Structure 1
Amino acid sequence: MNLPSPTDEWVQLVDDQDRPTGRAEKLDAHRRALLHRAFSVFVFDATGRLLLQRRADSKYHSGGLWTNTCCGHPRPDQPLVDEARRRLREEMGFDCPLIPVGSLHYRLPVIGELTEHEFDHLLCGIHDGNPQPDPLEASAWRWLAWPALLAEVAQAPDTFTPWLREILAHRQTELETWVHAHCAD
């Protein structure tokens, strides 16, 4: 498989306590399954519906799968929340305040020789407008109530990214707690 090389994209390598240990080119980190820092953004509307995106088919992995609002990797030595907001603007065309709500460490094969081996920080925010996604990042989007999301993931797990399924399996409580505290039921 011939994958594009994002040669100017670097990730922060970390240990299992999220302490920096170096840096690597993003695609190389995924090929060699190097543990690196990542973030997963979950943006809800005021009623508690989650904004999902379908990854563009042209993405070098997990194209066409539904996932949380935005995902990415902070540039080495840059503030995590600032980098997550930058990526949210780039992918989904809007910005909103983001609050860290937890983290998890996972190692998940995605395609071929690539592995998501990440110390993933979860961030939540509220936005009530419609996104204007970059079509090279997201081919579709939708707002989905939390119970409907859980039901869809249970019924058709292969239509969702592996990291979203991992987050829901291990950090569902933290996300639900945040939604109940910040959104109307």
Structure 2
Amino acid sequence: MAQEQVVLVDPQGRVLGAREKMQAHREGALHLAFSVLLYRETPQGRAYLMQQRALGKYHSGGLWTNTCCSHPRREETLAQAGIRRLSEEMGITTVAQLEDIARFVYRAELDNQLIEHELDHVLVACVSSLAVVPNPDEVMAHRWWPEQELVQAVAETPEQFTAWFPQVLAYVQAH
């Protein structure tokens, strides 16, 4: 099996090449990424589908984050990559379209001596009902988290969330 590659970019999103995923994370090379956050409108307000990353993930295991996230392959669009990862991580196969609402660059030193340095696109979709069948290699738990409770949790206990998630949530709330 071929090693997984990430797409290297400059801060404006221009493609510079590719690098093996783990090497890029050890070096802190800026690369393209996406974060999908599905939400639903309820009588009590908006709720977000969150996942708790599996403990065996290569970084940030056990932390809560958006519905799914990853890196696009060179031959796929961000939306195609987001839909692929919704299926691979969460077993969600009924979302056909994602909206790219924002992008931001962040850099975070993580566990396992890895550096996350990404141009992260925020992809969203409003859904009514879904079948969620998480891959246990990717996800240890999931839940629909009411917006006000989630905002409070991010403010009071940010250590339970991934480094990128507070920014993702802020962009989705502003959308």
State the 4+ residue runs in structure 1 displaced beyond 3 angstroms: none
Aligned to 2:3, which of 3, 8, 13? 8
Please state if 1:159 is matched with 2:160.
Answer: yes
Asked whether the equivalents of residues 7 and 25 of structure 1 are also in contact (C-alpha less than 8 Å), the reply is no
Secondary structure in 1 aligned to 2:113?
Answer: coil
**5+ residue gaps, structure 1:** 1-5, 179-185
Q: Which residue of 1 aligns with 2:104?
A: 104
Say how many residue pairs are matched. Answer: 169
Per-residue deviation, residues 80-134 of structure 1 (Å, max 9, x unmatched): 1101110111000113121110000011111132100000000001232241110
**Equivalent-residue separation in structure 2 for 1:87 and 1:161 (angstroms):** 17
Q: Which residue of 1 aligns with 2:61?
A: 63
Q: Report the AA paired with residue 105 of structure 1.
A: V
Q: Which residue of 1 aligns with 2:173?
A: 176
Aligned to 1:46, which of 34, 41, 44? 41
Q: Which residue of 2 aligns with 1:87?
A: 85
Give the aligned CA root-mean-square deviation in angstroms: 1.5
CA drift at 1:27:
0.5
What TM-score, normalized by structure 2, do the two folds share?
A: 0.91
Aligned to 1:34, which of 5, 29, 36? 29
Asked whether the equivalents of residues 62 and 161 of structure 1 are also in contact (C-alpha less than 8 Å), the reply is yes
Structure with more of its chain in strand, by fraction: 2
CA drift at 1:46:
3.2
Asked whether the equivalents of residues 59 and 112 of structure 2 are also in contact (C-alpha less than 8 Å), the reply is no
